[in-house]
Each structure stands twice: as C-alpha cells, then as structure tokens.
Amino acid sequence: MKGSVKNRPKPKVAFANQAEAKENILTKMQIISSVLKPLTGTLVAVDGPRYETALAIRKHLPSTVRQFNKWRSDDLEDSIRQTLPVFNANANKTLHSTELFDDVARTVKAVVYELAPQVKSGRAERISAFKATADLAVRLRQISEGELIRLKRDLEVAKNEILTLNIKLDELRRRSK
C-alpha cells in the first residue's frame, strides 16, 4: 500500500512550479504599483507612454484578492498586453502558500483607495465636495476666531472686575484698621 500524499516528499517540479507562481504574483504586484504611481503623482510626464498605459489599464485592475488571483494578461487589450510582462491566474491556495498574501491584500486595498474617488464621482462632484469642505473649514475658523475674541473680551472684563474688587478690598482693609 502506498503512503499518503502528505507523507511523500515534494517532487522537484513542485518547487519549480511554486517559484514560478511566486514570480507570477510578484509580477502582478509590480504592474499594479507601476500603474498606481503615475496616477498618484509620481514624476511621470502626463502625455508619456507610462501614463497612457496606466490610464488604459486602471479599469482592469483587481479590487479584491479573488480578482487578483483570476487576473491574467490575456484578459487585457492587445495594445496594453504588448507593454506588460505576461502573467497568469493563480489559485487562492497558491497565494496563501506564499508569504505574499498580506502584501497582495495591501496592494488590492491601494487599488481600491486610489481609484475609488475616480470611479464613484466625476471631476465636478469632487471639486464641489472639496469646495464644500473648504467652505466648512473657513466657517469653522471664523466661528473659532469669533469665540477667541469673545473670550479675550470676557478675560479683560474679568481682569477689570478683579482689579476693582482688589481696590475695594484694600480700601476696606484700610478702613478696618
């Protein structure tokens, strides 16, 4: 009777496959980070080829770990695929067997974080939201400045009251002697 699969040593090809899968995962992560850098303000010419590739590929970026696992270069348009290294889908079990799962999860969160405002709202909505936030900040500053002025006035009134009461106290002490 043969021993169980778990007790047998891994064949040499398994190590090669594992290394290839890890390299595939790293390639995907590098592509995502290189796409996000031009979109988030790295010094890349806006009309340059890297920026154009980043704009073209951003709609294909995975927003979950599951999508990351299924993501393949074959799913991209030919024009984009020619500028990128080839990468394939990988199994979730493969991802978990490497030490890269947390890095992949952070990368996917970065995609969601960086692209969410662009997907959810247009430029006009973002501008109006920023203006509303700026208006609120100005109004809060005006209120706090007004409150500070009022408190300074109250402090001066209190100081004058203390001075008046101290003068009366000194006068009463002189009378009582």
Question: What's the pLDDT tens digit per position in 44-76?
Answer: 444 456 667 777 788 888 888 898 889 898 888
State mean pLDDT over 144-164.
Answer: 92
- pLDDT value for 119: 47
pLDDT for 15 beyond 70: yes
Q: 31 or 157: whose pLDDT is higher?
A: 157
User: Coil, strand, or helix at residue 99?
Assistant: coil
pTM over 0.75: no
Find how far residue 36's CA is from the centre of its chain.
11
The C-alpha atoms of residue 145 and residue 138 are separated, in whole angstroms, by: 10
Question: In degrees rounded to 5, what are phi and psi of residue 142?
Answer: -60, -40
Is residue 140's pLDDT more than 50?
yes
pLDDT averaged over every residue in the chain: 79
Q: What are phi and psi of 113, to 5 degrees?
A: -65, -45
Burial of residue 174 (CB within 10 Å: 0-12, 13-18, 19+) is: exposed
Predicted local confidence at residue 166, as pLDDT: 96
Give the chain's length: 177
Which pLDDT score, from 0 to 100, does residue 169 have? 95
The confidence score (pLDDT) of residue 44 equals 43
> 3-state DSSP helix/strand/coil percent for the chain, to nearest 5?
75, 0, 25
Question: Cα separation of 49 and 34, whole Å?
Answer: 12
Q: Are 110 and 36 spatial neighbours (Cβ–Cβ below 8 Å)?
A: yes
